[in-house]
Amino acid sequence: MGRSLYKYTIVLLLSILILGISCQCVEDSSGKVLKIGTPSVVKSASILGDSSMGVFAHLSNPTLTKMASDGKVVGLTAKSYEVSEDGKTWKFLINDDLYWSDGQKLTPDDVRFTFNYLAENYPPAGWIKNTVDNISVEGNAVVFKLNKPYSRLNLEFATYPILAQHIWEKVEKPMEYTNEGENVGFGPFFIAKTDLGAGVIYFQKNPYWKGTSPKFDSLEIHTFSNMDVLSLALEKGDVDAYYKYAGTYPYASMQKLKDTGNFDFVEKDNIGLMLLGMNLQKEPLSDKSFREAASYAINYSEILKLDALGYGQIPNAGFVPPSMMAFKETAKLEYNLTKAKSILESAGYKDSNGNGIIEGKDGKDIKLTILTRTDYQRATELIQEYLKLLGIDSELKNVDSSTWIKQKDAGEYDLTITRSTPWGMLMHANWGTGYFDSRRTGEGVLHVLDDPVFLKLCDDILAATSDDQLGNYAYELQDYYAENLPAIALYWNKVETPTNRAWQGWYSDPLYGIFNVDNFLSVEKKQ
Amino acid sequence: MGCILGKRCTPLPDSLKGVYDMSLTAERWSRYIIAIVIIFSLNFVIPRAMPGDPLTNLLGEDVVLTDSSVTKLRSEMGLDRPLSQQYLDYWRSILHLDLGHSFHLHSPVSEIIYSRMKWTLLLALPSLLIGGVLGTYLGALAGWRGRSNSQKMQTALFLTIYCTPPYFLCLLALYLLSFKLALFPLKGFYATGSAADIAHHLFLPILVMTLFSMSRNYMIMRGSVLSEKSSLYAAYARAKGLYDDEILFRHVFKNSLLPIITLLAMDFGFILSGALFVEIVFSMNGMGNLIYDALLSRDYPVLQGSFLIITLMVVSANLLADLLYSRLDPRVRWR
């Protein structure tokens, strides 16, 4: 009986294997298919309700504007745009050769509908209601009349997908609207199917696209819940490139791909960065001298080497990375433990009882709480070590994302290690202000800075009416960061995107990396 | 039946026996019902006792909101109501067989669970069955004929698998069979959706899960048979002149099966959430991933719905195990 069981098992295994392999051979599809692998798993086929799906949908439903490689905002669905001198009237001239994938023409009414609809039904776009008085159509243009100058309207419009009025006007709750089938889009490709079981989003060419013709037939986004397996899929050739919004390919895995000789890396300076956030509402971090001492206690070159394997550079005190528009060269952050100790001593922080731990102004030993998430464990441990060398005791609270947000909002920390994303750096009044302004809230933001000088700077930036004004405020802001250190940049890193050499012509933009319309019109398979 | 150990029992008259059995059955059923009520209540309390807020992860990491937007969202999600009100609504929904609407997946929870559960069952049920049958059978043989070299090697192999961390074994199998030998795909439940394609995608994860289940059942059954082997009834059967296989499968096997039934019942109860490692490694959108994501994002309706299904499965599995126990072991009485 035992032997027959073994035999039957072996026969069963072999037959399934043969069946599978023959099935794999039949799967070979026709046409040029570009396959991109991503660890950003799509959990629901909702382009407004799922943040990963929202990024991918930019190819089928492009935004009104886009960020060019030099950081300037230019038209995408809009051919061009202009703003009145008082900064209160914005006019976007819409491209007149755009068609939805069901054959209908994209009209300025679609654009007007989109922003009215999002203002009413999409919480992240709730600001539109408070800022825009009226949206009207004038010929082929859409005109936004604002109740106050808002310098970054063009930038905001680089993130919202334009929606087809004839489809979306029937949708009452856009964030709950899921569609695993065809999503009508007007980009060079549209979403033909979102297959959550297979973990693939299928894009097909828009048959009514009149612009530059894409050089491949279809695009597939393959989602992986395990980064190691995604690396294997790249190496094996199952996917041609890697993509993660606001993220780089793991530096530690790059050499393995390089060794295959089949990969190039699209390298881009990240707008986002790793930062040491501080609770400015609590002592001792509310003390500028203490923050300054902490900034001298960090060994930046070591943290860059150990946490980012050298793929980046030591940041400036001005926080804002050079990849952002209107970057100002402020003082480079420096590791100088002696200076850090001397600043602390001058500010009245001393180790009077000789136990190796510095006392606060209340005479008690300082013990800081460092709140962190598993993703930033290495950097956090290094920071803890640097503080120890400075004579500051600390405890680590390593929590999951939801707990981090809760405790961060409740102010239950002194220091936190986190990162900013490209859009995060651009949101609110730009240049990272969204992370600090105490009048705002959000998942990743610290909202701990209520200094009137800073708040006024934010308001001035928002109300700026010219590029010159904006530039000047940006410089002032970076000086403010350098002088007051509301947060310390730990390193400015690079975003590395591996692409298979069988494909060429990759273009990465500062905001969404390789996931932009221009890139997919430029990429082609080598002959 | 109402007697104290060591004392002789007086049988109950037939008229009272029926009444006693009925009260025993009612007592057991009421125990299950109370357990269900308590667990359902815990399913409501535990997600809310976790730190964090369901609103997190809903809009993306880099979204700035005003306080009024947050308040509006909270109200739409029903999170601004008192907990007691939410608790009553929760029970009302359960009684109406309504599992609610997911905060993060934007669909009715029952639809989400159905779409994920069918795949997880397809993945886990064959492993449970094949692993249960093969592990028990081979474990019984190993316990009975443990001295041969082939049995020793087999035991060493299963012990190695049993001791290997599941995540590592999944990655190892994937690396060797999918990456190096290119025999299987790296991810997903399917690519095209045909039956052969699904079988091809599921083969490797099922194989890994089966090996785990099999090795554990093998080790338990082997140990159980080894202890039964030295019992007097086995020696008596041998003395009666029964063949080895007859002693094993007619007498020893049945008595050795009790711990396996407990394990299989537990496996069945946790079949939906037990495949988490496999689902993560093979990028499968199954129940394990669903529960894991819901935990991270504090998606209360999905957690409640999933826990509710798991509760029902665990209780049913226990009920089934109780019934099987009473069939196999007359010392355990149950009606």
pLDDT in tens, A66-92: 999 888 899 999 999 999 988 899 999
Convert the pLDDT of each residue in B106-120 to its tens digit. Answer: 889 999 999 999 999
Number of domains in chain A: 2
The pLDDT value given to residue B265: 82
Q: Where is pLDDT greater, at B18 or B72?
A: B72
Highest mean pLDDT among A120-124, A245-249, A494-498, B9-13: A494-498
Q: How far is CA A129 from the centre of its chain?
A: 25
Instruction: Give a yes or no: residue A363 inside a domain.
Output: yes
Considering the domain architecture, whether residues A130 and A51 belong to the same structural domain is answered as yes
User: Both A481 and A516 in a single domain?
Assistant: no
Taking CB atoms and an 8 Å cut-off, how many pairs form between chains A and B?
191
SS (H, E, C) A136-171: EEECCEEEEEECCCCCCHHHHCCCCECCCHHHHCCC
My answer on whether A143 and A227 are in the same domain is yes
Tell whether A309 is covered by a domain: yes
Exposure on the CB side of residue B279, measured as CA atoms within 13 A: 26
The reported pLDDT for the residue numbered A337 is: 95
Mean pLDDT of A393-408: 91
The answer to whether B70 faces chain A, any CB pair under 8 Å, is yes
| Residue B243 and residue B162 in contact, taking contact as beta carbons nearer than 8 Å | no
Cα separation, B142 vs B139, whole angstroms: 5
Tell me the residues of chain B between 98 and 117 that have a Cβ less than 8 Å away from chain A: 101-102, 104-107, 115
Q: Which 187-246 residues of chain B touch chain A by CB within 8 A?
A: 187-194, 196-197, 199-200, 203
Cα–Cα distance, B33 to B283 (Å, whole number): 37
Mean pLDDT of chain A: 91
Phi, psi of A303 (to 5 degrees): -65, -35
Look at residue A429 and tell me if it is in a domain: yes
Residue of B48, B50, B61 for testing the chain A interface, max A β-carbons within 10 Å: B61
Q: How large a percentage of chain A has pLDDT more than 70?
A: 95
Res B20 pLDDT > 70: no
Is residue A26 included in any domain, yes or no?
no
Domain check: are A453 and A525 in the same one? no
How far does B19 lie from chain A, in Å, by closest CA?
Answer: 47
Residues B180-197 have a mean pLDDT of: 91
**Same domain flag for A300 and A223:** no
Do A294 and A333 lie in one domain? The reply is yes
Tell me the average pLDDT across B229-251: 85
Say if residues A446 and A436 touch (Cβ distance below 8 Å): yes
CATH code of the domain in which A162 resides: 3.40.190.10
Could you list the residue range(s) of the whole structural domain that residue A289 is in?
274-494
Task: Provide, as residue numbers in chain B, all residues whose Cβ is less than 8 Å from the Cβ of A54.
Answer: 60
Is the predicted pLDDT of residue B334 greater than 60, yes or no?
Answer: no
Residues in chain B, total: 335
> Are residue A295 and residue A372 in the same domain, yes or no?
yes
Least confident of A157-171, A300-314, B63-77, B234-248: B63-77
Mean per-residue pLDDT, A182-202: 95
Q: Give chain A positions within 8 Å (CB) of B279.
A: 225
| pTM, full prediction | 0.86
> Both A306 and A198 in a single domain?
no
A414 belongs to a structural domain? yes
Please answer yes or no on whether B184 and A20 come within 8 Å at the CB atom. yes
Least confident range from A20-29, A48-57, A303-312, A485-494: namely: A20-29
Nearest to B65 among A5, A27, A123 (CB): A123
CB-based burial label for B2 (10 Å; 0-12, 13-18, 19+): exposed
Yes or no: say if B67 and A409 are a contact pair by the CB < 8 Å rule: no
Q: Do residues A206 and A278 both lie within one domain?
A: no
User: Which residue of A19, A44, A420 is in closest CB contact with B107?
Assistant: A44
CA–CA gap between residue B321 and residue B325 (Å, rounded): 6
Phi-psi region of A507 (alpha: psi -120 to 50; beta: other; left: phi over 0): beta
Q: Which of A487, A37, A420 is nearest to A263 (CA)?
A: A37
pLDDT at A37: 97
Tell me, what's the pLDDT at B13? 66
**Taking 80 as the threshold, does the pLDDT of residue A169 lie above it?**
yes
Q: Same structural domain for residues A130 and A39?
A: yes
Average pLDDT over residues B129-158: 88
pLDDT of residue B230: 84
Residue A191 lies in a domain: yes
Q: Are residues A460 and A412 in the same domain?
A: yes
Q: What's the CATH number where A399 sits? A: 3.10.105.10
Domain membership of residue A11 (yes or no) is no
Q: Is residue A5 part of a domain?
A: no
Q: Are A481 and A510 contained in the same domain?
A: no
Please determine, for residue A228, whether its predicted confidence score (pLDDT) is greater than 70.
yes
Q: What is the pLDDT of residue B261?
A: 86
Check pLDDT > 60 for residue A28: no
User: pLDDT band at B11, cuts 50/70/90?
Assistant: low
